[in-house]
Amino acid sequence: MPYSRMTLSKFIIEDQRRSADPRPDLTSLLNDIQTACKLIAVAASRGALYNSPVATEVNAQGERQKLLDVVANDIMIKTVEWGGQLAGMVSEELEAPYDIPDTYPRGRYLLLFDPLDGSSNIDVNMPVGTIFSVLRCPEGIDRPAADDFLQPGTAQVAAGFAIYGPTAMMVITLGAGVHGFTLDPQIGAFTLTHPNMAIPHASREFAVNVSNERFWEPPVARYVEECIKGAGGPRGADFNMRWIASMVADIYRILIRGGLFMYPRDTKDPTRLGRLRLLYEANPMAMIVEQAGGAASTGRERILEVTPTGIHQRVPVILGSRDEVERLVTYHREHDQGIDPSFDTPLFNVRSLFRAT
C-alpha cells in the first residue's frame, strides 16, 4: 500500500536515528533539496510549454544558458535558502558563492550544485538532472568566502543527483551505501525503489564522446581502441558504447548495470585540465560511485582526494566499474613512465571508424 512505502523523507529520518551523531539540520536540508528537485522535475516535464519571464545570458562558465538552467537555479536557491541549515551555496550558474540573505537564519552546511546537468539535451527531449554536494562550513565562519568551499571530496557529508527522464528519480548517499528513489506522482513523494545500489566490478560498456578522440591522451586512445577491437582484440570481448551527453543519465545507467564513464583530459583547450567541474559534478558523482562499489579517478589521482583550487575548477573524470577504472589508471601510469606498449590505432590515425584500404 502507498502509505507503507519507504519515502525519501522517512529514509533520511530513520538513517539519522541510527546514527551515533544525528544531524536534524541535515535532515531538513535534504528534505528541502528533494522539494526543489520535485519543482524542477515539473518544470522540465513541461518542456516547450513552460513559460517564464526569466532572462538567459552567458553563465560563469562562459556557456550560453538555457531557460531551464536559470529556472532550475532559481528554484534550488529559493527552496533551500530560508531553512536555516545553510551558510552559503555555490552553483554552476553563479560566478561567486551565494550569500544567504540576512532575513534568514544561517546554518552549518554548504551546498554546491549543478541545477540542470545535461541542459544541451533539453531541446531534444533527453534526460537532464540536478547534481548536489553537501559540505560542513568551517568552524567560526558565518559568511563563507570562496576558499571555504575548497574542500576535498572526502569531506562531503552527503551527495546525490536527480534525473528527470521517463520517471523522475533521486539517487543519494549519506556515506553508507547508495539508494534510489522514484517519484510517485500519485502521492507526490520520492519512494525507495532501488536500495543498496551496487556497480558490478567488471563491465562491457563504456561512455565517451568519440568526437573528441583526436584530442585524447594515448592512454585513453589505447583503452577505447582495445574495446572497439572486440572479441578479436586484446580484451577478448565485445563492448558496447553509450553516450547520452547527460552525466546524470550515464551515471544512473552505470549504477544499474555497470560500465565506464569518461570525460578525460584532452588537448582541445590547453587552458583546461578537464571538462567537468570538481566541486559540484565530479566530487558528488565520485562519492556516489565509490559508495556503490565502483571507482573514480582523474586517470592519475583519486577524484575525492583532488585538492580544490577554485569553486569552478575542472578535472578529468573516469568513473564506473572498478576493474575498468583501474585498467585506465594503469594505462595512464605506464604512459607517464614511458612504457606504453606499441599498438595499432587505425581509429585514431585518421578520423574514421574504418581502416582505409
**Residue 17, pLDDT score:** 86
Residue 7 has φ and ψ, to the nearest 5°, of -85, 165
Distance CA 259, CA 249 (A): 12
- Tens digit of pLDDT at every position of the chain (357 positions): 456 689 999 999 998 888 777 788 999 999 999 999 999 999 998 877 766 655 556 565 666 667 889 999 999 999 999 999 999 999 999 999 999 999 999 999 999 999 999 888 778 888 999 999 999 999 999 999 999 999 999 999 999 999 999 999 999 999 999 999 999 999 999 999 999 999 999 899 999 999 999 999 999 999 999 999 999 999 999 999 999 989 999 999 999 999 999 999 988 888 888 999 999 999 999 999 999 999 999 999 999 999 999 999 999 999 999 999 999 999 999 999 998 675 555 554 544 454 544
Residue 308 has φ and ψ, to the nearest 5°, of -70, 145
Is the separation of the CB atoms in 143 and 99 below 8 Å?
yes
Number of helices (H), then strands (E), in the chain: 8, 15
Sequence-distant (6+) residues with CB within 8 A of 97 are 88, 89, 90, 144, 145, 146, 149, 311
Residue 319 bridge partners (DSSP)? 261, 296
Distance CA 129, CA 51 (A): 19
Is the separation of the CB atoms in 100 and 81 below 8 Å?
yes
Task: Classify the C-alpha dihedral 77-31-152-108 as positive or negative.
Answer: positive
**Residue 276 CB neighbour total at 10 angstroms:** 21
Residue labelled with grid coordinates 575548497:
150
